[in-house]
Chain A
Amino acid sequence: MALDDQKRAFKYVGTTPNRPDGVDKVTGKAQYGADITAPGMLMGAVLRSPHPHARIVSIDTSAAEAMPGVRAVVTGKDFPAVEDQGFADIGETCMARDKVLYDGHPVAAIAATTPAIAKAAIRAIKVEYAPLPHVTDVDEAMLPDAPVVLEGRALEHVPAGMSQNVTNTCEFGHGDLEAGFTKADLILERSFKVGAAHQGYIEPNACMASYAADGRADLYCCTQGHFFVRAVCSALMGMEASQLRVTASEIGGGFGGKTTVFVEPVALMLSKKSGRPVKLVMTRDEVFKATGPTVHASVDCKIGMTKDGRITAGDMTLRYSGGAWPSGTIEMGAQAGFAAYDMPAVRTLGWTALTNRPKEISYRAPGAPQAVYAVESLIDEMCQQLGLDPVETRLKNAARKGTLSSYGVTFDDIGMVATLEAAKAHPHWSAPLGPNQGRGIAAGFWFNFGGNTCVSLNINADGTASVTEGNPDIGGSRASISLMAAEELGIPYDNIRTIVADTASLGYNDNTDGSRVTFAVGLATIKAARAAIKVMCDRAAAMWGIDAEAVEWIDGAAVPAGPNAGKFPPMSLAEIAAMSFQTGGPIAGHHEVNVDGAGVSFGVHICDVEVDPETGHTLVTRYTVAQDAGKAVHPTYVEGQMQGGAVQGIGWALNEEYIYGRDGRLQNAGFLDYRIPVASDLPKIDTVILEIPNPGHPYGVRGVGETPIVPPLAAVTNAVSRAIGKRMYQVPMSPPRIMTTIKGK
């Protein structure tokens, strides 16, 4: 669906009305995953492996089953085998079968009448393990003699003779690397490490399942995609999708981390075996140990540059591990790494290896921050060595319309140059710095996606409208969707209510991910509204006794199209709706589509830090984000996405990391030891929203949710490196790591 008109004047889109979920959330009425209850409900608890890698010899649940109040026990043997490998892998993350593959891997679950009984029963289960050698580091996992996590999972294009942990490889690029490096005046090659970060959502994963004796089931859960939950859970339970209705609760953050299931199939099986509703709520310890963080990464990056700052070639090798199961995230990182630049010669080579860690799941722009961190850090170091301005250098090399991207596609209209110019023009860029302070800048890129989407828009008899969509609202989408419906229908925002329907009420909707909802659901909403408008124009034409083609829709009313159509006063939406029962029945519009045409997005971040040379503590003193939103439908929400992504990236850059001991166990499974930034750690994040319309959306919308986490790792690194006068090559830059670099060790 193409862009309508770049000069269109919007009435509602671009305004910032109050969020429709605000009152419920600030008054505590909003129902999150753990808030759902049912009569007779049992409480679930999960037994998890203390070993990073072990064979399960036996599980004795007899003592637990004999305890008063215990109603059901579940192990891996209760789940039928699943043919689909992707679903089977997800199922095994929820409940181990023959082997445990990471510290925290579930091995059994209990449903009991109280949480205390469930916990006591968990302790009564006896599991005999045969521990196996483990590996938790990607570089070690790729060594030929590394302990093998899973056998036989390498894709067909992985070269023979490598460790069986290596499951995937990919290569992207174009041009003559050797010739490119020959033209360079400076060639630098550096190695980087990126820790695995958790999405850090505040609401733990939670669900309530109710499996009836007739084989039908209801599941309530906090998720980014209840249709996907239905697909996975129905497959793992061996039931038909139509018999499982999934309802998404309000969601306390996801950021990609709730695009899969961890407890839902277990709760369903416990409910099936007990005949009672079962609630399962993860503790924070369980969330850290057993829900997916990002990949962790090891990167070698080499760039050639002329004295005046032209990049002549870039070559990068990425090694990612997404835990104990194969992961495709490497392909995203390998494509995104150099995408912001116009490169005559470029290559990215990616590898994925299995480690004894939990299964990775998406986190905003999965795979891109790790790769872009290396590129943007190295460019900054080269600018320092050559005495070049880092913004001007990036402008000189920036991708623009007509650039052959590093992943093979020729760019259309994009915002890389505009975001760089915005950063350059921002007062932040030229503000003075004090002692021990440094300023870093970095660019970032993300693809954005569309996907399967269904929207139903009903015109109510009182002249209001209801929009029914199927994507959990994690970033304000109900407001944005209502705004786009208001824009099309020509009625006030407050006259529209958008709800997120359950899986029985709409066709399949892809997850709320890929920065897709405002783009794709918005597009479907616009089409649904236009379908409803067509019906309303037909009704007006019938009432006027003129041809339907002679009626058009202007500012919320049907009007005769031109003088030859007849002289009739405009007939408002409310008037047409009020007569809908007499003129043919209820009025609605629908649209079902698999949307493509999402526009890529660029962002540029500026970061100031002050580093304490005595302790290595880093304080972010100023931070600015410039990003292309295509069209900001609700600018406050857009700003929130940009600020939120930046904050999460700052946390990753400075503090956040999964730390495994030599015993292969996670050492910091809690917010005290895995420290995310809080408000008092941060300055106000300033934002500059740019609007370079996406040709693939009627209003020009691009996704905004993921790009802002891409630049911060390098922006903060470049600021810290300049502040301390030495380069940092690993994130997070914890105080001990900074002190080690300062002391030159």
Chain B
Amino acid sequence: MNLLEFRNVRAAYDRIDVLFGIDLEVPAGSVVALLGPNGAGKTTTLRVAAGLHPVLSGDVLVAGRRVNGTAPEELARRGICLIPEGRGIFPNLSVRENLRMMTYAGVTLSAVEAEAYERFPRLKERRRQLAGTMSGGEQQMLAMARGLATSPALLLLDELSMGLAPIIVEELYSIVAQVAREGVSILVVEQFASTVLGVADLAAVLVHGRIARVGTPAELQDDLSKAYLGG
């Protein structure tokens, strides 16, 4: 069963088409990597899935139910969690207040905190600190903690590695792998493919708003250079 499914989805910014009818499936419990060069439409795909961007035509299905036009807050309550590009935290709120924002999804603050601090103990030390004053890696941890604290069914990760040191990226992706083992479906967008292919079950290459190829990471290795370099 597919937890998330795109059927011939088109999306645009005003008159400029960005997604030209893409088909994409995220099977339950799997990690799907969405790869592609700058401007391919990867972030738009995630925004469409999270309800932040309207669909021009086609269908977006979550657990088999059509969710076109559903408000992002409603999708969040149904267990879809997007961690947007560039951290996805509230910089002027403390760590604890950031976590408290997750209680809108129907969980208690104590549960959110327990989950977050267990996975990322460093956040507990910094719970009174303003999130915007933490390091990039810690901010990304907070973003992930916030996302995972409600035990989402589907996690949408956008450019997790952006602006982070390789060692921190490695650490974060080990957590992604652990989360996937716990049964959470994940659609992850990355420009830098090598790290994400290590944890993905399936990968899709998006070029110029079209899915150019779908397959296992091993099958796709060769196609990637063509997609990025136009070869």
Do A and B come from the same complex?
Answer: no
